[in-house]
Amino acid sequence: MITETQYARFDALKLDAGETLRDVQVAYETYGRLSEHRTNAILIDHAFTGDAHAAGIDHEGKPGWWDNMIGPGKAFDTDHYFVICSNVLGGCRGTLGPSSIDPATGKPYGLRFPGVTISDMVRLQKLLVDHLGIERLLAVTGGSMGGFQALEWAVAYPDAVEACIPIATTARHSAQQIAFNETGRQAIMADPDFLGGDFYDKKPPARGLSVARMIGHITYMSDESMREKFGRRLRDRQDFSYGFEIDFEVESYLRYRGSQFVGRFDANSYLYITKAMDYFDLAAGYPSLAASLERATSRFLVISFTSDWLYPSYQSQEIVNALRSRNHDVTYCELSSNYGHDAFLVDIGEQTEIVKGFLAKCTREFRGLEARQ
């Protein structure tokens, strides 16, 4: 299916940082049909550098980032469900962010864009979901930073979430996770082309952004998956260069992925979104994680992957334990995979079966509740 990105605009969005953004555009896509009673809507939250194009093929022939999970007969079966995905606030793929034009100056915001949080992103998604006429989502889900948003939905809007499926995620960043993000930010800000964020009419800070992305890619793969994919194989050569050209396949891959990223992602969005991730702490303002989850009324399906060292299973287990301590309805699956953090995007066999079963049950119970009302 060819999918179209759509846009919605909202007059104002109040931010955690205190400021209010005006005329806030959101890019989103939908797949499948909203049922008569509007009880089959699933919101997909994307990870760090994702966008609204989650499924189908766009006009350039590019498949959505979770096309293997969303579509007829797939985990998020568009024969049954109405699936929504929107680009996050602070992003650069159609939703308001630092590369957008500031109406006050007629120029891109750059670093004059206010700081945003996961909760701001979710507040904007709530406006979109209201706009689409959906009172209660059948499910909210996402991997990585998408999982942060799913958790935030369950706590911020308990009446609007029937089921929550956080995948390969955490309730808060550890020092190590903050450290990786900070190193990426420093790489970008160290690039002289960064110009304090005002590079839009010149060239982007390509070298810094590329290094930041290289760091990211290492953390998305596992030691094993890198060994399987590259090992110590040399790239187009029989012997070492004894210089600083590309010797190893893995060097070639990282340089390629780094430079490719520059064409599709805004360096300022990189800064804003990583900060939003680092700031996120579901338990902030509560005595404990369990206390923060007390408000939630959703069923939960929590999924993690054995070889994911960026969002290790123990972080999912913290969420599960907190939910269980408040007697929430929670299922936890640690799936075996060698693909590291990327597993939720690429190693989707078991994930599909588990999500399907969970959604079928949630659908029955959601409709049953509706029938009794």
CB of 259 to its own copies, least distance (A): 10
Q: How many CB atoms lie within 10 A of CB 34?
A: 16
Q: Which of 1, 12, 190, 346 binds its own copies (CB under 8 A)?
A: 190
CB of 175 to its own copies, least distance (A): 4
Closer residue to its own copies in complex, CB, 202/372 = 202
- Of the candidate spans 51-59, 129-137, 208-216, 347-355, the one that interacts with its own copies by CB under 8 A turns out to be 208-216
Q: Which of 8, 57, 111, 291 binds its own copies (CB under 8 A)?
A: 111
CB of 245 to its own copies, least distance (A): 10
Q: How many CB atoms lie within 10 A of CB 315?
A: 21
Q: Which of 1, 101, 130, 231 binds its own copies (CB under 8 A)?
A: 231
Residues 241-270 that bind its own copies (CB under 8 A): 241-244, 247-251, 254-255, 258
CB of 144 to its own copies, least distance (A): 17
Catalytic residues: 144, 308, 341
115 binds its own copies (CB under 8 A): yes
Amino acid at 272: Y
232 binds its own copies (CB under 8 A): yes
Between CA 143 and CA 151 the distance in angstroms is: 11
H-type helices in the chain, by residue range?
118-131, 145-156, 175-190, 206-220, 223-229, 249-262, 267-279, 289-293, 313-325, 343-346, 349-372
Contact 101, 110 (CB under 8 A): no
288 binds its own copies (CB under 8 A): no
DSSP three-state, residue 108 = strand
Contact 348, 21 (CB under 8 A): no
Total number of residues binding its own copies (CB under 8 A)?
58
152 binds its own copies (CB under 8 A): no
Between CA 217 and CA 251 the distance in angstroms is: 12
Q: Which of 230, 325, 332, 356 binds its own copies (CB under 8 A)?
A: 230
List, in sequence order, every residue forming a beta bridge with 332; answer none if it has no partner: 302
Closer residue to its own copies in complex, CB, 179/369 = 179
> What is the β-pairing status of strands 6-14 and 20-31?
antiparallel
Between CA 7 and CA 24 the distance in angstroms is: 10
Residue with tokens 């194009």: 53
Residue whose C-alpha is closest to residue 215's, from 241, 192, 190, 247 = 190
CB of 156 to its own copies, least distance (A): 18
CB-based contacts of 212, cutoff 8 Å, min separation 6: 183, 184, 185, 187, 188, 270
234 binds its own copies (CB under 8 A): no
Provide the binding-site residues for its own copies, judged by CB under 8 A. 16-17, 111, 114-115, 172-176, 178-180, 182-183, 185-187, 189-192, 207-208, 210-211, 214-215, 217-218, 221, 223, 226-227, 229-232, 240-244, 247-251, 254-255, 258, 271, 275, 278-279, 281, 309, 312
